[in-house]
Amino acid sequence: MGRLFGTDGIRGVANQYPITCEVALKTGQAVGLFTKENGYKMVIIGKDTRISGDMLESALAAGVSSTGIDVLLAGVIPTPGVAYLCSSIKDAGAGIVISASHNPYQDNGIKIFKYGGEKLSDEQENQIEDYILGSNDTPRGNVGKITVISDSLERHSDFLLAGFPFKKLDKKLKMIIDSSNGAASKIARMVFNDNLFDARFIHDSPDGKNINDGCGSQHTQELQRLVVKEKADIGLAFDGDADRLIAVDENGTEITGDRILAVCAKFAKERGRLNNNTVVSTIMSNIGLSRTLDSLEICHIKSDVGDRKVLEAMKRSGAVIGGEDSGHTIFLDYHTTGDGIFSALRLLEVMVETGQSLSSLASIMTVYPQILMNVEVDKSRPDFMQINTIANTIKAVERKLGDTGRVLIRYSGTQPLIRVMVEGPDQNQIKRYCHDICEIIKKNI
């Protein structure tokens, strides 16, 4: 990929390059020109609850409007809400989301959707990136208007609830919902409302700095405790921009994206909804998912990491269900991108239709022990397999695991990290192996 875009847009520390007003202005201009070239008239901008969101929103909106393209401000809204608006508003040629997803508040990012609510292709990202980094031209001529979409959350929530059978429930499901003090904070109350559910909400009071702070999909400990204490049927945890879902069953056990995929794939196949009998996940998925899908005689395709890569593989294969263990789950027959709240509704639908508890449903998949550790690195990103001490350590671990496990190491697409994952039958063993690899990386990179 390029010099600015990672696996999920442009990301970094707010007010430091590349997440600066200057880059945001140029990005807005690039997206405005992209929109104009494709024959559209407006760009939608949404954001999460970070304190830096307003600053970046102003710069992006100024950049877009300077190209003669109108701007619609959606305010605080989940990332998939912007994708939905892009697909439902006729003249929208692009959507920009200001968010760093599950990262701490100090970070921020810029994600871009094109017309129809889909992520940009590599070529389109490179085109926009080339303009940001290389163009000194300043747009002249007509100036676009900047207006507010006052009902953006209502539109998104109506879309999310359409077609689900929850009004028929004799007994409301009891749930606890963690909005991570992020973009789900308002819309979660609209979707999981008193008419349909018995819901309690936590971490839905954002102050600009508490997003993802010990809460949400990355930190489910409090949610797990409350689900057990209050005897809830399920806990739902979203990340800062609400495109991820991690669930908690009635026993307080965390149910991550792989198990959600397995549950939803089995249900879809039984109902005749699993197009091409195929599910897509990433190379990071637990080996237990592959074995579960094999037992269900469902074809399993593994893509590179990132929901954009999952989506590309889904389109190539004709799959309608795909996702990542991190909680990004895509239901392509209904939405163009991963949506944590929609995934939650899908999971609740399975519980309602089958009458089974989440623990019973999730028991279909055995989770193999998996250790993931991160090592901080600089931005040089050398090929670690060309460094003999690192390569030899990795190969030694792989020999010891044999066919019972695997090692996967990659650079993060959004942070200056190497992610080291070791999977195998024994938790203590793979933890030791993972630690050994991380120590060698620290000494040599």
- Helices (H), ranges, 196-256: 221-229
Dist. CA 264–CA 267, nearest whole Å: 5
Equal CATH topology for 174-254 and 370-444: no
Out of 3.40.50.720, 3.40.718.10, 3.40.50.1000, 3.40.120.10, the CATH code matching 174-254 is 3.40.120.10
Q: 370-444, what's its fold?
A: TATA-Binding Protein (3.30.310)
Catalytic residue IDs? 101
Is the CB of residue 194 less than 8 Å from the CB of residue 166? no
Is the CB of residue 397 less than 8 Å from the CB of residue 435? no
Tens-digit pLDDT profile for residues 230-281 = 999 999 999 999 999 999 999 999 999 999 999 999 999 999 999 999 999 9
Q: 256-362, what's its fold?
A: Alpha-D-Glucose-1,6-Bisphosphate; Chain A, domain 3 (3.40.120)
Task: Using a pLDDT cut of 90, give the percent of the chain over it.
Answer: 87
Tens-digit pLDDT profile for residues 270-292 = 999 999 999 999 998 998 999 99
Residue 1: per-residue pLDDT = 39
Q: Indicate if the pLDDT at residue 2 is higher than 60.
A: no
Residue 363: per-residue pLDDT = 98
CATH number of the 5-150 domain: 3.40.120.10
Q: Indicate if the pLDDT at residue 413 is higher than 90.
A: no
Residue ranges of domains in the chain: 5-150, 174-254, 256-362, 370-444
Q: Taking residues 129-151, what's their average pLDDT?
A: 92
Tokens 């996702």, residue located:
323
Dist. CA 329–CA 287, nearest whole Å: 18
